[in-house]
Structure 1
């Protein structure tokens, strides 16, 4: 799969926002230590923007800016043949990856958080969707001859839990990543964005309380626990 396939499979902006908030809340419960988390969501990235993000701890990441203009997503897979730091790209963002980004998202092409120390946009796949669009868009990327490479730009692997949005997909992934069984019923509860209860939290991580999660709930913009 390439970014073209991913563009057809990603959900709409609001479903993606909700999914991202759920993933971040689940990770906050399963990993109280921030540095161990995979998914995060900042509901207050700016006065008008929210940021969904993922870091896999091995150099792979994505960031998705959600704003009144729509959604802008960048993916960076350091092992991708399209990486600016690989032998094919010669220190530059791969041709076509950022082409066609509309003016509404132009500021993200120079956003310091997405650039390296040489001002290279650290991106192997880029997608965007303006608020009135009915589909995701991507640049005209000419992929090199990579016969047998299943995920040349890293977009499928790194965005996989935004593509497969079943609770089972997250529970299976988290069980492997965190090395512990993950309660499927609790996952369903959180991904549905239902307010947390101590029972649900305990089912996921007995060492965490609702009080412990207060800051995360506020940062993610997750529905607060009922009194």
Structure 2
């Protein structure tokens, strides 16, 4: 799988944003310590921008910037043969075709190392009004690696957005039982209840989640139905 395969499996921008918010809320419940979380969401990352992020603590990560222009996705798999540290900067084509409207994301210091080298092995974007996600024209390594840019691993919970996929991840990472019904509740962006929170983590209270709910922008009231 490459970023091109990932782009074909991603939903529209609003659905991706909602999925990222719900995963961040699940993580906030499961892991009160932010430093131990895989998935996060900052609804106030910068003026007019929100950011979803993943970091596994071993050097693999992604960032998704949501803005009025659309959404920009950057992924970095530190052991990928397409790493900028294995070559003279980003792999050809990964960033070359990014439209000007997302240039600030390409040049964002938070997405680069101390020397300004972009930490990226995979990149995709979608402008508001686009009919699909896009990625650059890339000639991938020809050695038969099934995941040359790390996309299959880094974006696995974005391409498989099922409650079962998150449950499997969380039980493996936190080494605790994670009830599927509670995961389904949060992935559906339903307002939190004390029962759902206790099912996921009996050591945390609704009040303790107030700051996270605000930071994530998780809905606190029932969503209107058409």
Whether the TM-score (by the shorter chain) exceeds 0.5 is yes
The yes-or-no answer on 1:186 pairing with 2:203 is no
The 8 Å contact of residues 197 and 225 in structure 1, kept in 2 or not, is answered as no
**RMSD, matched Cα:** 1.0
Identify the residue that residue 192 of structure 2 maps to in structure 1: 196
Q: Which among 90, 98, 115 is matched to residue 118 of structure 1?
A: 115
Identify the residue that residue 21 of structure 1 maps to in structure 2: 21
Identify the residue that residue 175 of structure 1 maps to in structure 2: 171
C-alpha distance in 1 between matches for 2:49 and 2:70: 10
How far is the alpha carbon of 1:225 from its aligned partner?
A: 6.2
The 8 Å contact of residues 97 and 140 in structure 1, kept in 2 or not, is answered as yes
Deviations 1:15-69 (A, max 9, x none): 1000000000000000001111000000011121000000011100000000000
> 1:79-90, aligned counterparts within 5 Å?
79-86=79-86, 89-90=87-88
C-alpha distance in 2 between matches for 1:85 and 1:121: 10
The 8 Å contact of residues 141 and 148 in structure 2, kept in 1 or not, is answered as no
Q: Secondary structure at the match of 1:20?
A: helix
How far is the alpha carbon of 1:103 from its aligned partner?
A: 1.2
The yes-or-no answer on 1:10 pairing with 2:15 is no
Identify the residue that residue 159 of structure 2 maps to in structure 1: 163
C-alpha distance in 1 between matches for 2:12 and 2:221: 27
Identify the residue that residue 40 of structure 2 maps to in structure 1: 40
> 1:111-150, aligned counterparts within 5 Å?
111-147=108-144, 149-150=145-146
C-alpha distance in 2 between matches for 1:73 and 1:40: 14
How far is the alpha carbon of 1:100 from its aligned partner?
A: 1.0
Deviations 1:192-227 (A, max 9, x none): 00110110000000000001100000000001268x
TM-score, with length taken from structure 1: 0.95
C-alpha distance in 1 between matches for 2:61 and 2:122: 11
Q: How many residues align?
A: 222
Structure 1 stretches of 4+ with a deviation exceeding 3 A read none
Q: Secondary structure at the match of 2:138?
A: coil
Q: Which runs of 5+ in 2 are unaligned?
A: none
Q: Which runs of 5+ in 1 are unaligned?
A: none
Deviations 1:137-170 (A, max 9, x none): 11111112222x2211011211111111111110
